[in-house]
Chain A
């Protein structure tokens, strides 16, 4: 079964009727790691006041490098946290929880959510598959509960869904180690989407894959998301992947969002100095080597710089940047930036 043409080009299908509420709305989220070793307390402000929303049937990308906080953000959104990680402020609201913050949900509600409404493709997904059981069992373990048991049409549904990621039903009888990395990743995508969740969170889904496999996997991810009308929150440091796949893109630095816009617009007209640098430093075949420099190093989140986290490395840094934290303000329709120098009214 092949994906239809519209899905291949990646155009978002027209919404039918009234636009639905955003699938995910994060407001002022703060998540810190608090540890205590031998009397030394450390607080790592991994996510420090992040607000954004993921709309119906869209692919939203989060880009960031090491110590940007993006992995912690995902854990906080999926309520997959364990001490020493704690949410110390803000809310994460999912449409299917009826506006309640996910952190206020009971374990029973969370269990009902997982896989049916919210699923998570982790980095190095190979480990989501039990290595001593056949793939079929993973489907039975994960999905049967939500699809009404393993009888009747369950197998037919699984096979049909596997077809969406171009996998043959023989995959069901295989053990994970018998499949290639790319095939395992596609099985994981199939697992994550078979219950037609509203939101799929993917954390570096193609990082470990070869170039050729990566492209196919991304195509499939998009096709499946469009067909099941799921929204996709895609987190990766690879801007090339964002340019290829996402509708809207948010750039994170030092635990905060610094810019957000429609992907095309962000690549063509970035405002924030960090975004500009990131986009300008993408090497492209056929073009000259970008000659860009960014002094300094990513911030230490245990002792971050005061005010704007980027100011020690910023070519446009002003006195104000050291003292106050810039907020995300609209500088153009659907385009937000957190910067005193280039964003919003001074």
Chain B
């Protein structure tokens, strides 16, 4: 695993850039632990100060340092995205692999459920949950709800792959060697499925974070605990752009865009690397007379 990362760093420029961007973002998130200001305090510094040496990203109309706010914001946003991604990957892997391998009525039932979830319009449902749960709508709750809404697409992808793997001869060899279904899925099929899981993880994170930002900007989330979307929400409340306080919006947006690009580049480069075909090529299996 470490050798893989080392190889990628050395030879793959996309990976290098992606890793760099992600390092910047994660670095920002880590800085939140040494922030001189508590995240929820307001009016601790002079408001509406443009970027300067003292406040590198400026301050907000609520008297908060944009830079240090951003460290908390990005930490929360990132954690949220990771939580959603992990939960929904587990769900889509489980459902996709089982449906693909078992086939028959199991497959039909699972895919019927799957298609229902795909058809559900996300946004109205999320808004509905907000109105129903109100104050009980914590970040964890939102993460769970989004994970439950975000597995369906990818489960189908994984199922398609599982179907094709099922009919490959090495699956039968495993079967006739006495492998249990669990062994077959985890040991023989999973390596082929991982590239898709990886690619979809990055996409999933981009999706969930994007949705979170949207919801927050509209005020449908817990706006007290700071997130990137929350910052933009408050900026809008104070009509920051009209008032000329552009730095309040620009820096959060810039950082989240960096995050998106970094995740995308990482996904693309790691995918190419993990893909069994390129692994085989590297091991020397392909090419030649």
- Please determine if A and B sit in direct contact within the complex, based on CB atoms under 8 angstroms apart: yes
- Mark B276-289 against chain A: 1 for CB-CB distance below 8 A, else 0: 00100110100111
Distance A257 CA – B284 CA, assembled complex (angstroms): 25
Which residues of B sit under 8 angstroms from A47, Cβ to Cβ?
Answer: 289
Measured between alpha carbons, how far is A35 from B11 in the docked complex, in Å? Answer: 15
Counting CB contacts under 8 A, is A67 at the interface?
A: yes
Are B282 and A301 neighbours in the complex by a CB distance under 8 Å? no
Q: Does A273 contact B (CB under 8 A)?
A: no
Query: For window 47-96 of chain A, which residues contact chain B by CB distance below 8 Å?
Result: 47, 66-72, 84
Question: A301 contacts B7, CB within 8 Å?
Answer: no
From the candidates A39, A69, A71, name the one contacting B11 in the complex (CB within 8 A). A39
Report if B182 contacts A (CB, 8 A): no
In the assembled complex, the Cα of A71 lies from the Cα of B282 at a distance in Å of: 22
Q: Which chain B positions have C-beta within 8 A of A250?
A: none
Q: How many chain-A residues does the 8 Å CB contact rule pick out?
A: 21
Does the CB pair A37–B288 fall under 8 Å?
no
Closest B residue to A71 by CB, please name it: B289
Within 8 A of A (CB), among B129-183: none
Q: Contacts A37-B281, A40-B282, A42-B284 known; A67 to B289 CB distance under 8 Å?
A: yes
| B11 x A44 contact (CB < 8 A) | no
For B254-289 the 0/1 string (1 means CB < 8 A from A) is 000000000000000000000000100110100111
CB distance from B274 to the nearest CB of A (A): 13
A301 in contact with B288 (CB, 8 Å): yes
Q: Is the CB of A44 within 8 A of B289?
A: yes
Whether B289 lies near A70 (C-beta < 8 A) is: yes
A69 touches B284 (CB 8 A): no
| Complexed CA–CA distance, A68 and B288 (Å) | 10
Residue among A33, A37, A255, A301 having the largest count of chain B Cβ atoms under 10 Å: A37
Query: Is A208 an interface position by the 8 A CB rule?
Result: no
A69, B281: Cα distance in complex, Å = 19
Query: Hey, what's the 0/1 contact readout for A15-58 against B, CB within 8 Å counting as 1?
Result: 00000000000000000010101111010101100000000000
In the bound complex, do residue A255 and residue B289 qualify as a contact, i.e. CB atoms below 8 Å apart? yes
Our pick among B7, B281, B289 for the contact of A68 (Cβ within 8 Å) is B289
Choice from B10, B11, B287, B289 contacting A42 with Cβ under 8 Å: B287
Residues of A within 8 A of B282 (CB): 37-38, 40
Asked if A44 meets B288 with Cβ closer than 8 Å, knowing A37-B281, A37-B282, A38-B282, the reply is: yes
User: Which of the residues A35, A40, A72 comes within 8 Å of B289, measured between beta carbons?
Assistant: A72
The answer on a CB contact under 8 Å between B289 and A69 is yes
Which residues of chain B are within 8 angstroms of A280 by Cβ–Cβ distance?
none
| A306–chain B nearest beta-carbon distance, Å | 19
A302 and B289 in contact, given A38-B7, A39-B11 (Cβ under 8 angstroms): no
Contact among B7, B278, B289 with A46 in the assembled complex (CB-CB below 8 Å): B289
- Roughly how many angstroms separate A80 CA and B264 CA in the complex, as a whole number? 37
**In whole angstroms, what is the CA distance A47 to B7 when docked?**
31
Q: Smallest CB-CB separation from B286: which chain A residue?
A: A35
Expressed in whole angstroms, the Cα–Cα distance for A33 and B278 within the complex equals: 17
Using A38-B282, A40-B282 as known contacts, say yes or no to A33 and B7 having CB atoms under 8 A apart.
no
Q: Which residue of B lies closest to A64 (CB)?
A: B289
Residues in B neighbouring A301, C-beta threshold 8 A: 288-289
Cβ of B57 to closest chain A Cβ, rounded Å = 39
Chain A nearest CB, measured from B122 CB (Å)? 39
Chain A residues with CB below 8 A from B11, complex form: 38-39
- Please give me the residue from chain A that is nearest to B10 by CB atom: A39
Residue among B10, B11, B282, B289 facing the most chain A CB atoms (10 A cut-off) = B289
B7 contact set on A, CB distance < 8 A: 38-39
- Bound together, the chains give a CA A67 to CA B289 distance in angstroms of 5
Q: Are A44 and B287 in contact (CB under 8 A)?
A: yes
Instruction: Give A320 Cβ to nearest chain B Cβ, in Å.
Output: 26
Which chain B residues border A35 with CB–CB below 8 Å? 281, 287
- Give A35 to B280 CA distance when docked, in angstroms: 14
B288 is contacted by which of A38, A40, A70, A302 (Cβ under 8 Å)? A302
CB-based contact A33/B10 at 8 Å: no
In the assembled complex, the Cα of A305 lies from the Cα of B81 at a distance in Å of 54
Q: A66 CA to B282 CA in the complex, in Å?
A: 20
Measured between beta carbons, the chain B residues less than 8 angstroms from A84 are 287
A66 to B288, CA, bound (A): 10
CA distance A38 to B7 in the complex (A): 7
- Using Cβ atoms and an 8 Å threshold, which residues of chain A touch B281? 35, 37
B11 nearest in chain A by CB position: A38
Give chain A nearest CB distance to B107 CB in angstroms.
Answer: 29
Residues of A within 8 A of B10 (CB): 38-39
Q: How far is the CB of A308 from chain B (nearest CB, A)?
A: 18
Closest-by-CB residue of A relative to B4 is: A38
Which of A38, A39, A70, A84 has the largest number of chain B CB atoms within 10 A? Answer: A38
| 21 A-B pairs in the complex with CB atoms less than 8 angstroms apart | A33-B287, A35-B281, A37-B278, A37-B281, A37-B282, A38-B10, A39-B7, A40-B282, A42-B284, A42-B287, A44-B287, A44-B289, A46-B288, A67-B289, A69-B289, A71-B289, A72-B288, A84-B287, A255-B289, A301-B288, A302-B284
Binding site for B on A (CB under 8 A): 33, 35, 37-40, 42, 44, 46-47, 66-72, 84, 255, 301-302
Identify 11 new A-B residue pairs, CB closer than 8 A, beyond the known A72-B289, A84-B287: A33-B288, A35-B287, A37-B282, A38-B11, A39-B11, A42-B287, A44-B287, A44-B289, A68-B289, A72-B288, A302-B284
A-B complex: 4 closest residue pairs judged by Cβ atoms? A46-B289, A69-B289, A44-B288, A72-B289
